[in-house]
């Protein structure tokens, strides 16, 4: 397996991000935009940093990172169903949090469904609160390496 990650920003062509995102989240019942009161339009995508994961020349995962004025927030992070449980999601999240920490703030947030909390916890995220069937998790830069070592 040859896996590669790339970053994109709002001035790049985001069609591959949007295509992969639609494959990953096509059966999602939760409307995150109403809960978090964030702009999920293409305008918001133009302000975010995006990551795509490529496995053998196929886009298999994507995620976005935006700044809420205080912290970076991971958004729409996912891997296509047939490629899950192969550490691709782990790679994708670490790419995004690494980019966030390079840019300054030392805390990154993610909002997710309860069933994916163990995945984010395995990377080092801690639960901050539960509300409306979603969980807000945080990770601090100083705990990222600790989480890496615990995966051995």
Average the pLDDT over 3-13 and give the result.
90
Q: What is the pLDDT of residues 105-132, one digit of tens each?
A: 788 999 999 999 999 999 999 999 998 8
Domains of the chain: 3-150 (3.40.630.30)
Q: What is the pLDDT of residues 13-67, one digit of tens each?
A: 888 988 888 888 876 554 444 344 444 444 467 788 999 999 989 999 999 999 8
* Structural tokens at position 147: 């989480």
pLDDT at 1: 60
- Give the helix/strand (H/E) hosting 118: helix 117-123
One-character DSSP codes across 21-55: HHHHHTT----HHHHHT---SHHHHHHSEEEEEEE
pTM (predicted TM-score): 0.82
């Amino acid at each position: 397996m040859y896996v590669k990650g790339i970053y994109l920003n709002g001035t790049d062509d985001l069609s591959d991000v949007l295509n992969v995102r639609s494959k990953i989240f096509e059966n999602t019942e939760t409307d995150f935009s109403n809960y978090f009161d964030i702009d999920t339009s293409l305008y918001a995508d133009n302000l975010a940093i995006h990551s795509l994961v490529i496995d053998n020349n196929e886009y298999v995962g994507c995620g976005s990172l935006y700044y809420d004025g205080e912290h970076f927030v991971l958004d729409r992070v996912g891997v296509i169903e047939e490629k899950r449980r192969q550490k691709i999601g782990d790679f994708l999240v670490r790419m995004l949090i690494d980019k966030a920490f390079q840019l300054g703030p030392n805390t990154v947030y993610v909002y997710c469904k309860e069933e994916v909390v163990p995945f984010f916890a395995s990377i080092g995220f801690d639960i901050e609160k539960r509300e409306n069937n979603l969980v807000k998790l945080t990770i601090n830069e100083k705990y990222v390496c600790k989480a890496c070592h615990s995966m051995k």
